[in-house]
Structure 1
């Protein structure tokens, strides 16, 4: 079975491919490392002849060329489902807009709510069966392609072939145009620095993880610290069902901690939707049958998460207020990232048999003036986005301890959270809680307050 003739008939230059975009179109990019950087640069070169072209992306690696075009020109309107560092900078300049959503609903938006004129996605080279693999960024690419009027694939030889799972590729028969790119190297992430605070938080969490747990880790130094501790622990027969696969999973796998042998779903497989990390991680995923790439409505589907026993979900936060609301997306009106799958896994893990959801943050940070401020706050600043409502939050962890908020009244929550705040801020938080009427006679003296930091 040969598809080379069809491939060659659909092959064209990047500039010819982007000529398919017309004024007023909606253009969707592939996600993360499968964003079409080569086609993006070509599309931006048409800025003098296009107007009102709306682009949707998801964590573009760096700053998209179309987002560099002056927004006041009216040529491009750039939008993102989840900010990368480059998109955060574009947002600060007024050239990027955020699309609020919870990650598992991404495919349904394209199947129910949205319209796409042109889809552009970076893929692995076509295989002998005519398939272009989405590589390390499955996400909701299939749903976009099924919705799109025109489909353009940007072939990059550095994209690993990530086996499914499901919905991990597009066939040549579904593609309108093939563009062979400059084969730019994929974005890699340096090993996240692990601080003493990260280690302290990780220690609290790892002590709670049972053998046979199914692990989901977010991105950053603290989840990386958890992975390193697990790799050196006595834990065994761990499983993986996650949205993001990072180097910490590779470290745990190589240490023999991950076997996926006790999972109820996809036994024997590490299930994920996208990967971000080192080149070594990408090489590990290439043609590896121990790993399964799925669309995000599968990995982050609430019932799918809960179907595995002992799911342990570990995610970062920016701030937590005394009601137990979690903000992981913005600082006031400055948008930083997105909801991602934090809600999905916090909810799904809690409903797993023996499952646990951990929200982690250092007790303090520095404000723009360099002043030390508490990350446990009475209330959020105006504009701050709530990622987890107070009814969803289970465990909150800082370097000073871990508390459970499930089933607790407002005064119990305030007491628990203040007990794991930095000691320098606890008295002020008590006074604020009193003014908020979530501190009462049942809240005991300071000696008891300082004892509450153990897991409730």
Structure 2
């Protein structure tokens, strides 16, 4: 960051402080860049981050800063790879609830806010930051004129903002990644599980984007998701999303975070047909069970032959997150007509199979799994015994790995 720092953190950060900042596109980059630039001159402190899509935090950040997160998403992988990131293995809903309950307590909160007509909004994310700010010693807000004012994320009047600074740049953007042949093939299979009138939940990445892009022919879709992205704007503008058959929140797209580009930010700005609701609503099992035909679309690093899903670790190293996967899988299972889809490429970038005999970490237990989708097809697992599950999982593995998986299965059965 060039020029004079927008704030001097000396005297504001105390030794051992837990500093919490907005995550993903809600990161207050003007503030976080200033903090990281001054960090070496400050007392040792802890920094809580979520998904990181900026260039703010790196392995070369000052050694007196220790980083924590609920997962390894985006550029947080740089911190994890360098051994700088402690991961709290928690469902996203529980992680947020821990701030409300006081199990996590922030000392300093840095937040990006939008302002309209004298009102403030948390704008792009309605996660744990408000509850963290409620009990913090110091709350510093970056007021960003380019951040959209979103309904549902209004900043509560009883949560003080102690300092305000003007934003030095627009909010972080995350463009959709280009689609490839594998993601398109996965999407073609998954789309067959999504009927007219379904309500969608999905995450970040090429495969969710490919699935959304394949749904323009489906009618009366709804959105109740942990996030929305630019692909949602496409579906709404094409008339595929109407939110009329969800059973709740008629006519309104419900999300917890807004992750995309300025096109999406302009769309959600003061748009009463979009509500950025808190995690206690978007991820609530009671709420999700009321949604009709909820289709949860999530990804994985590995899936075992018994259906167990690993979205967290490979070779003992955390490279993913629990996130909201289990929240939404269980919500979709409880929803009338719901489906829980785990979609992943059958083969990793190094050529190894992502369909394995046993996963090393269980993110979603086999008892909760519904349908697994790869580019080779769909394994419908609900109600199946272990032998049949293994047969169906091997059938959607890459052909070059099927014989080895069958042989490993036979050996393990002896």
Q: Taking structure 2 as the reference length, what is the TM-score of the superposition?
A: 0.93
**Aligned counterpart, 2:353:** 374
Range with greater deviation from structure 2 (49-58 or 395-404): 49-58
Q: Gaps spanning 5+ residues in structure 2: where?
A: none
Quick check: 1:403 aligned with 2:379?
yes
CA distances 1:59-93 after superposition (whole Å, capped 9, x unpaired): 1332434863343xxx2111122333221011111
Pairing of 1:367-446 with structure 2 (within 5 A): 367=350, 372-380=351-359, 384-437=360-413
- Which deviates further from its counterpart, 38-47 or 58-67? 58-67
Q: Partner of 1:215 in structure 2?
A: 200
State the distance in 2 between where 1:397 and 1:387 align: 17
Alignment match of 2:20 (pick from 28, 37, 46): 28
Name 2:271's counterpart in structure 1.
288
- 1:306 corresponds to which of 265, 285, 289: 289
Whole-Å Cα distance in 2 between the matches of residues 335 and 317 of structure 1?
13
Q: Secondary structure at the match of 1:47?
A: helix
Q: Identify the residue that residue 185 of structure 2 maps to in structure 1.
A: 200
Structure 2 match to 1:454: none
- Whether 1:355 and 2:338 are equivalent positions in the alignment is yes
**For the pair shown, which has the larger CA radius of gyration, 1 or 2?**
1
Matched residue, 2:45? 53
Give SS of 1:359's match: strand
The 1:402–1:154 alpha-carbon spacing in structure 2 relative to 1, beyond 3 Å, is same
* Partner of residue 38, structure 1: 30
Alignment partner for residue 66 of structure 2, among 69, 72, 77? 77
Over the aligned positions, Cα root-mean-square deviation in angstroms equals 2.0
Q: Which moved more, 1:413-422 or 1:61-70?
A: 61-70
Distance 2:23 2:184 in 1: 31
Q: Which residue of 2 aligns with 1:121?
A: 111
Superimposed CA distance per residue, residues 101-155 of structure 1 (whole angstroms, 9 cap, x where no aligned partner): 111123320122121111111111x3334x3211111122221111212211111
Shift, 1:173, TM fit = 6.6
**Equivalent residue in structure 2 for 1:104, among 93, 99, 112:** 93
Whether the 8 Å CA contact 1:168–1:293 is kept in 2: the answer is no
Deviations 1:345-377 (A, max 9, x none): 11100110000011011111232xxxx221101
Deviation at 1:48, TM superposition (A): 4.2
Q: Secondary structure at the match of 1:212?
A: coil
Question: Distance between the aligned counterparts of 2:72 and 2:113, measured in 1?
Answer: 21
Q: Please say if 1:64 is aligned against 2:56.
A: yes
Residue pair 2:255, 2:277 contacting (<8 A) in 1 also: yes
Moved more, 414-423 or 96-105: 96-105
Helix, strand or coil at the partner of 1:366: coil
Q: Tell me how far apart the structure 1 counterparts of residues 6 and 72 of structure 2 sit (CA, whole Å).
A: 26
C-alpha displacement of 1:297: 1.8
What is aligned with 2:167? 181
Gaps of 5+ in 1: 1-12, 439-456
Match of 1:321? 304
Cα deviations across residues 393-416 of structure 1 (Å, max 9, x unaligned)? Answer: 110011221112222222121111
Distance in 1 (alpha carbons) for counterparts of 2:221 and 2:74: 32
Separation in structure 2 between the aligned mates of residue 15 and residue 172 of structure 1, nearest angstrom: 24
Contact kept, 8 Å, 2:124 with 2:258, in 1: the verdict is yes
Other-structure match for 1:441: none
Counterpart-to-counterpart distance in 2, 1:180 and 1:187:
15
Query: TM-score, normalized by length of structure 1?
Result: 0.85
Q: 1: distance between equivalents of 2:159 and 2:73?
A: 32
CA deviation after TM superposition for structure 1 residue 18, in Å = 5.7
Closer, same or farther: CA 437–18 of 1 in aligned 2, 3 Å? farther
